[in-house]
Amino acid sequence: MEIQSDEGFQSMSNIKDINSNNFMSDVIEASRDIPIIVDFWAPWCEPCKQLTPLLEKAAFQYKDKIVLAKINIDENQEIAAQLRIQSIPTIYTFYQGKVVDGFQGAKSNSEILEYVKKSAGFSGPGEEVENLIDMAKIAIDQRNWNDLGELAQNILSYDPKSEEGFSFLIKSLIGLNKFSEVREIDAALDTEIKNSKIVSEILKTVDIAEKAFKAKENLEDLKKKLNKDPENLDYLFDMAIALFGNGEIEASFNMLLQSIKIDKEWKDQSARKQLLDFFASVGFDAKETVNARRKLATLLF
């Protein structure tokens, strides 16, 4: 006796009935390529009759990312014994030949959707995440920090440990001048994610951005000072920081380049060092950075 479920879902290629003959090939071996969610059920199990159709519908949404394998424990007692299935419904997710997640008992539809979504993420970013990453890079180029934050959250919903997702989220908060929120995330991050190259590099720019944000309050006063003394290196330096904090990236870079042109050794090459810090903060692929690096090379060499 089979659990009756929607005919359309029942016929989907990523939903299979499994027995002792094909368990090794269609679950253990197959899970090396794609996550396999295994539903242990029995015909007499009332909660199973509620859970299985919900699993099938959720699996259909991720038909290219997971397989749902259904095992009737009455007909496959050897498998149930080997996996120590003591109550049903029991749901296990297999990936890379081993159990990586699971639960027992009834769940709400939203909880099942979240579980299937999480299981689909074990195989790494799919096309959806790749598209989100591409969109996030465009948002960075356009300095659209609100959109970047939303895209970062979407990436993290697919992959809660995405280093790129966290780097985008932190960058968006820096762009919105929400420095205290960045530090809260910093304190809560897993060590592995925090120490990853992409995340650690963006975290290094927090103090630089916050200093520049505070400096923009002096923008008008610095403009007056520079009008009177346009080659004053202290004024040029402070103006560059204030402009950066005001979002005027190209103008900020030009101020520092002007300072370097006047005296590249000033205060132990402070202007060059500040420029390099700003490059890291904006991103080495940003158009302003690319242009400024070309000009810097001309001045230095």
End-to-end Cα separation, the chain, in angstroms? 81
DSSP summary character for residue 162: -
What is this structure's pTM? 0.59
Cα distances (angstroms) measured from residue 195 to each of 113, 180, 184, 201, 300: 31, 20, 16, 9, 33
Report whether pLDDT(242) > 80.
yes
CATH classification for the domain delimited by 127-203, as one of 3.30.70.260, 1.25.40.10, 3.40.50.720, 3.30.465.10: 1.25.40.10
* pLDDT, tens digit, 9 for 90 and up, residues 174-190: 999 999 999 999 999 99
pLDDT class of 124 with cuts at 50, 70, 90: low
Contacts of 78 (CB under 8 A, 6+ apart): 20
Q: What six digits make up the tokens of 228?
A: 């009177």
Contacts of 232 (CB under 8 A, 6+ apart): 225, 226
247-276 mean pLDDT: 95
Edge-to-edge strand list for the sheet holding 67-72: 15-17, 67-72, 36-41, 90-95, 98-104
* pLDDT, tens digit, 9 for 90 and up, residues 89-110: 999 999 999 999 999 998 999 9
* Sequence spans of domains, the chain: 7-123, 127-203, 212-300
Same fold, 7-123 and 127-203: no
C-alpha to C-alpha distance for 99 and 83, rounded to whole angstroms: 10
CATH architecture of 7-123: 3-Layer(aba) Sandwich (3.40)
- SS3 percent helix, strand, coil of the chain, rounded to 5, is 65, 10, 25
C-alpha to C-alpha distance for 216 and 107, rounded to whole angstroms: 53
CATH architecture of 212-300: Alpha Horseshoe (1.25)
Catalytic residue annotation: 45, 48
